[in-house]
Each structure stands twice: as C-alpha cells, then as structure tokens.
C-alpha cells in the first residue's frame, strides 16, 4: 500500500504501455527467450494494471521469477522508468 505525503522508495512505471509505443517496444524485445519474455510481459502487465509499482515489490517479484536482472534490463531498454514520489 502506498501512503503518506510521499513514498519513501522509487516506483516503477511505464509511459510506453499507455499508448501506441508499446507495439514498437514489443518488436524491439522480440529476441528474448520465451521465459524471459513471459516474465517481462507479466511485470509490465502488473505495472499497467496498478499504474505503477514500488521498486522493492518489483525486484522481489522478478527474483521470484528467476529473472533477478529483469528490472535493470527493462529500465535500460526504456520499457520502464523509475521515479521518486516526493511529498508536498
């Protein structure tokens, strides 16, 4: 649960998954193996559904999927972004 005037940790989100650019990103990532692609699509779907996700939860989820570097990979290729939420 996110609470308080700000969130003490970064949140992952993706500006690509809300528009037409997601198909372009999908083509760029088509070379991934089936397991890695499935994990990445699962992560993106969760982030899309919640419109963001705490970084710690995302890292724990990707580790549980056997893809510990998935977050760094997705951020590195521009599929996901990290942001810090600052209170007012």
User: Which pLDDT tens digit goes with each residue over 31-86?
Assistant: 888 899 889 888 888 887 877 888 899 999 999 999 999 999 888 877 888 887 76
C-alpha distances out from residue 85 to 14, 16, 49, 57, Å = 15, 19, 19, 16
**Element (DSSP H or E) covering residue 82:** strand 81-84
Q: What is the pLDDT of residue 61?
A: 94
Q: What is the pLDDT of residue 63?
A: 96
Per the confidence metrics, is the pTM higher than 0.75?
Answer: no
């Amino acid at each position: 649960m996110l609470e308080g005037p700000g969130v003490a940790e970064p949140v992952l989100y993706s500006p690509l998954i809300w528009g037409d650019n997601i198909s372009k990103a999908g083509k760029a990532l088509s070379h991934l193996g089936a397991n890695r692609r499935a994990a990445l699509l699962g992560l993106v779907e969760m982030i899309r559904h919640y419109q963001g996700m705490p970084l710690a939860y995302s890292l724990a989820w990707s580790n549980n999927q056997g893809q510990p570097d998935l977050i760094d990979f997705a951020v590195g290729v521009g599929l996901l972004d990290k942001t810090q939420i600052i209170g007012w």
